[in-house]
Structure 1
Amino acid sequence: MKKEVLRFQKYSKHEVVEVSDKDHTFLLIRWMLFGFIFLVSSTLSFGVDQVDAEEFSKIKTPEGQIYVMRNFQSSREVLDSYFPILSKRGNNKAIFFWYYAKDRNIMLYPNSFQEGKRNLKIMTDFAKKHDLEIEFQITEYLNTVTLRANNKIDIQQHYSKFLDILESMRKIGFNHFIDFDLEILMYNFGLLFYEIGDYEKALLALKEGEKNKVTSIKSIYQTLNLNLIENIYSIQKDYDKSIAYAQKIYELNKGFNPKLDPTDWRSVFWQGFSTLSIAEYKLRQGKFQQAENLAIKGYEIINLNQNYEELQQLWAEFEAIQLLLQIKLKLNKLLDAESLVKRTEEIVKKLKIKADNEDFRLIKYYNNLSDYYEKKGNFQKSLSYLKNARKLEILKEVQNDKRNLWRIEMRVKAEDYQTNLARIEDERKQQNMLTYVVIVVFVLGFVVAFLSYRRISSKNKTIDLQKNDLQKNLLEKENLLKEIHHRVKNNLQIISVIFDKQARLATDEQTKKLMREGQDRVFSIALVHENLYQSENLTTIRMRTYLEMLTQNIENSHKNEHQAIELSLDVDDSILEIDTAIPLGLILNELITNCYKYAFKNRTLGKIQICFHKKENEFVLTVKDNGIGLSDDFDVSKTKTLGMNLIRGLVRQISGKLDFSTDNQGTVFSVIV
């Protein structure tokens, strides 16, 4: 129970999770896959009485028999007694499910290790022999997990195989896999994709698990699925969705334990933890008052749980206090903060935390104390704690960098592995085709009377083959081009992350601003590639979608609680070539950024209007603000700032024209292409 709490904390805090290649036995993995739900939940309620062979024989439909076996909780002898009945009925799907039920309950059998291997081979052969498409994918999944558990395949092969299985399941329809513990399968898919960093596939799997959750039992996998989805959206900084999924976790576990009975420690833990998560997301959104109320509530719930060991309870309270303390400091509630600091110091003494401790959970603690003592005027102490925080942040960033590089390497290797498999399959097809051609030529030599007919037929076949080859080559090139755009987008996102890290490490605001501006410029380019690989046309881009996403990012980047800048967008459905769209995106990024930086100095309100329309044979991009305007001696052709130099260069690149007008009512810039 206590180990499970640590596991939940590990994943929920977004800490780096190192992938281990330590050997796990086949038996342990089988039990983890199909028995974990029995081990971790003492309140399971299946709603199905266990039946003996006589009662089982009275069940007329395969669906009814599968339902009983799906919820089987009896002895090996009872399970074995079902098999002759199923064999006599002769329904292959029900027979296969018996083997599956045996696999789930393999611990009931003597020599479980050998019996499990033998049973899995029988399942695989049975699914192939009887052409059971759904069941075959289940055996593919089980065989992949078994091979990985015994180090017969590496992580990229595991990832590649899971991609293939998930795609096959998608084509068949996930709803056809309900009887095979689909919620648990999707969690295991999602967990691997999450660790690899393939968040798109992880969300696909986890949301299918959410959609097809087990409603008849109090399943921990419902919470685990929701928690991973929440974490992914948090990594992507989509805090509204993170909050929505944290709220789902809270409501789910509240339904299990509405009165917060401390004996049901798991539901209490998740109610408290999800409440604190929502508070943290509200803090990141700048909604400090809401965050404070939620953090107080989460702190109270966490302290209700008495089932931890003292050390774990102290750490849980420690982390809850750090969030609440951070919020109190944001609200300048120093009296409240003082009591929290004192409680933290008491916990630190009990935890026996040393100055050289490298636990990343201390980062927030050191930052909070630095902010607290700065507000109290004790700058020496503030600086000391700030140094401790920076030291741990650097260590964590190095570790995360290694993790990100590992993720990229694993995904590239997996792609290479799939490419090699495809190449081998193509070579096999070519060999078969060559054999076929040789046979045809040999037969033609003996059928002289039909030579003319054969010749015409051969030409027609050749034309069809060439047409198919051309279509195939075209499709391959399109896929390759999409992949190039995808990888370029990913690489640009990595650069964007580097800018973000540099900005966070920078000590002066000017450097931070430069890094953020660089990050926005990279994003405007990456956004084009993202739109391209998601669209059918790989050379043009729809400007409405592109500019909406671009301006949203810029607005989020410059939003602050001291100014309310309204940004409006009026864009038609024009479609532009990529060579024009990228420079226009960069120009727009610079113009809007300049508006935020200079147009509304000493003002709390403002408006920025962006228009993009096609007029006759020209495209016109206009950015208008109602700010303070430019100085009378402003000359767009002589200004030496990086932003204006970039704008002029980009306008020349697309053979466009740059105009502007300004007065005390605001400034208008127009780019005509």
Structure 2
Amino acid sequence: MKKHFILRLMCTLIFSVYTCLGFAQDDVETQNEDYYEQFQDLENGELRSFFFFNTPNRYNQNSPYDWLDTVKVYLNSSEKTKDSISIRNYQLIESQIYYDLGNYERSLAIARPLYDNILKLDVESKQTILSILDNNYAMLELYDKQIEIRRVKRELGLTDNVAFYDIYASLGQYRKAMRDYMVEEKKVLKDDDYYGQAIYNNTIGNYLRLDKSTSTALSYFKKAEGLITVFLSDVTNQHSDKEIADGRILNGLIIGNIGKSHVQLGEYEKAIPFLEESREIIKKYNKSKFSSDIIENTLALAECYLKLDDYAKATDYLSDDLNPIKSANILKRNRIYADYYFKTGDFKNSTVYLKKNIRIRDSIDALESNIKNQQLTSVVAQDLENSRKTMEHQKAQLEESRKDIKARDDKISLVFVSLIFTLIGFAGLVYAYLKSIKNQRLIAEQKFIIENSLVEKDSLLKEIHHRVKNNLQMVSSLLSLQTKNTRSKAAIAALEEGKSRVKAMALIHQKLYQNDDLSVIEMQGYIESLINSIQSVYKKGGHSINITIDAEGVELDIDRAIPFGLILNELVSNSFKYAFPNDDSDGKIYIHLRKIAGQEGFFEYTDNGIGLPEDSDERASSSMGIRLMSRLANQLQTSLKTDKTQDGVRFWFNFK
């Protein structure tokens, strides 16, 4: 499973090289979209609210302040007409904009009155208000309020479970947070959900990084980076603009976490490119929004350059319009300034910043311990409340079990009475039992005979496949002898093609008698062996071509494996002969085969050669190879499809 995942990951990364130009074009189109104008063109507050909350990177053309001014105009107009629905929608938008700007108190001031009347609102408005309040309380570290919001979510039926792992992490309980997170998320995470898997690994890595287990955290971040790359380059699944934007922001956060891990390990030069790339990605796809991650990455960059004695770069980042809100970031900025002035000999300013930190720490020490204890007590109390409810549910189930047991006891009493009458037939049962033992012995003897027959049958089948393979090899050898005694180039080419096809069939029988299971063939190994066989025929070509095979775990029976092998033999042979006439050093062949039990299979073959000639459709009627592949595809109850719209050539088909 792990090998298959790594192979698929590598293939997707290779394919992403071909799709990066398309993504770049999408980025340009997204950046040029005037969401602000589209927002204004909508008719009412309900449509504008839906558009606003479902538009990623909405501040690409206009700043949040422009949006805020416009929303206030709409809000005033709605208040004059007493349009209560539009008033609520514009207030929600206004609250979210203040949150995006980092003005959490103002955002709360708008959202809280709406929350007081939440029972009168529709489900979508309830979810939006509770999400805004949850996020604001988290940023303001008001975790008891955040717990209240999550409890309301559950009571309103908007969520089945209430989790507190993020709050535990904010209170410094990283190991507890990580354990709870793994229990809650792992059970609902799907193997093919690359975005969810990336979030999971990034979150676990972040908890480990904050807990100073940096080396282990790095392994999780790198796995998360690979998963989000697969998600962004997966063209087989259609993703919405919001999903893609969220994926790219997550990619920026993961890269930033890798950089911060290298800083913790003292690897400053290695950390710098990760941190700079993370800043650029978050700024691009989270445009004009306040971001603590950008501040953390910027401070980390300043620290790196300061450690490397590049004072100019360090001061550039320190003066990069930083406005930290979290006390940890403020302390870190002051500490870096103090280090900078100390290293440059300005001990007076260094002392000033150290004193600032001392005052901040004194203030924190005076309040933080008591507040954190209160917050932690609230979280634990809510956890205990959840545990109590779980225990009550289990108690109810236990009571039901007791009732079931009592009902079974009553049935047992009836059975006991019946047992008395059953004793009368006991003698007959003993006789039947002794007779059954004799029958079991006979059955065991017959089973032994049948098993020996099956083993003998398997041996005979393997011998048959071995002999068929040897006979096909003899045919191949005869064709080779005929080739040596033939002067006609056309005849030699035809004999070589025939020999290659015979080898493809012989290889099927060889794989069958080598398998424990004689009914199927493991296609990854078969394709690799077939490629090696074809390369031995075309000695002058094919060895410098990069061939990628993605068929791990696919098994086919002989009725499908033989036509499939012959089709693949024709395609690879044609690529070696015609696709790379000049220089095949950059040649690439990609073979993909997927078959899941109970579903349609999919085969794809591509190369980046010179492609098919313009008159390929006319040649198809006269080409033996094309006619042969079409007939073989018919045996698979499908038809071979060709794509000539890109460089090289692509053949593909679905099969049952």
Q: TM-score, normalised by structure 2?
A: 0.32
Bigger Rg, structure 1 or 2: 2
Q: TM-score, normalised by structure 1?
A: 0.31
